[in-house]
Structure 1
Amino acid sequence: MLIIEVADSTISYDREVKSPLYASVDIPEMWLFDVNKKAIEGYSQPSASGYKQINRYEKNDKLSILAFPDVTFTWEDLF
């Protein structure tokens, strides 16, 4: 339902290699935590060529897992 990647030095690899692989096997959602920038990228709408939807979350933003939309987190909860 959801893949979570936490990266500091592998952010490019996670974004450019892992993300398209997850999308190609229909993982519905991926969150990529960039610990250096303290940002979360949310990827959804998988396709053979990668995720079609990418959202960036920062301080004061709210997130929810697509499979459980009633369960919400704040950026502060996750960082």
Structure 2
Amino acid sequence: MTEHVPITNVPTRVKLRVEDYLSLDHDGAFEGYGKTELIDGEVTYMNAQHRPHALAKMALYDALRDGLRAAGSTLHVMVEASVAWAPVDVPEPDLLLTSEPRGPGPVPGVSVSLIIQIADATLQSDLDRKAALYGRHGVREYWVIDVNGRTIHQLSSPTNGRYADHVQHQFGAVITAATIDGLTVSTDHL
């Protein structure tokens, strides 16, 4: 049976699915663009990372690793790992905590407990578009590190695609995770 698609005189965007994006990426379609991610079915180019961004990411990686060990957690911290949420999202956050670090392809979205974005030029997007994305997929906790403002935004309690709780900390604070038992993270090296 042939499916009939309604005729329209208004241009309609076609969203890529996770499998489309991964196939195109595997075949080299994005090689000239550097790093990309799939957000709501659209391929998005990612900015280059400069030293303040890279230093903050490495300091947080170390602090998260140490905090997970001290808490006796079985979670693993990963850097720049793609996360897949069908049908149309494959973001690549700066840092994430997952219960499933091993295996082929992107990290399964259901295994992610915490996502961290480092913002030196993307603060508004990270607090708006990315927060909506992660909230929509039920990521229990999301942190945005504002390098320029020396502030950490800790968002938790996703409800209806938005985070109900938003706490701000200054660099140097010790942050207690809202959703991961026993995890505290020192930010004195940021």
Q: Which moved more, 1:39-48 or 1:57-66?
A: 57-66
User: How many Å separate the matches in 2 of 1:16 and 1:71?
Assistant: 26
SS at structure 2 position matched to 1:76? coil
Q: 2:158 maps to which residue?
A: 46
The aligned amino acid for 1:38 is R
Q: If each structure's strand is expressed as a fraction of its own residues, which one has the higher value?
A: 1
Query: C-alpha separation between the residues in 1 aligned to 2:114 and 2:183?
Result: 14
Unaligned runs of 5+ in 1: none
Match of 2:70 in 1: none
**Structure ID, larger Rg:** 2
Counterpart of 1:4 in structure 2 is 116
Match of 1:72 in 2: 184
Q: Which runs of 4+ in 1 moved over 6 A?
A: none
Amino acid at match of 1:67: I
Distance 2:172 2:146 in 1: 16
AA matched with 2:130: K
SS of the residue 1:26 aligns to: coil
Query: Percent of aligned positions with the same letter in both sequences?
Result: 26
- The alignment's TM-score, normalised by the length of structure 2, stands at 0.38
1:17 aligned to which of 117, 122, 129:
129
CA-to-partner distance for each residue in 1:2-55, whole Å, 9 max, x for gaps? Answer: 000001111001111010110111000001000001110000000124100000
CA contact (8 A) 1:57 1:75 kept: no
Match of 1:63 in 2: 175
Deviations along 1:39-77, one digit per CA (max 9) or x if unpaired, are 100000001241000000114422122213x23122314
Q: Which amino acid in 2 is paired with 1:2?
A: L
Amino acid at match of 1:36: N
8 Å CA contact 2:152–2:171 kept in 1: the answer is no
Read off the aligned partner of 1:35 and give its amino acid letter: V
Q: What is aligned with 2:141? A: 29
**Is the contact between residue 5 and residue 14 of structure 1 (CA under 8 Å) also seen in structure 2?**
yes
**Can you give the 5+ residue segments of structure 2 that lack an aligned partner in the other structure?**
1-112
Number of residue-to-residue matches in the alignment: 77
Give the AA of the match of 1:62.
V
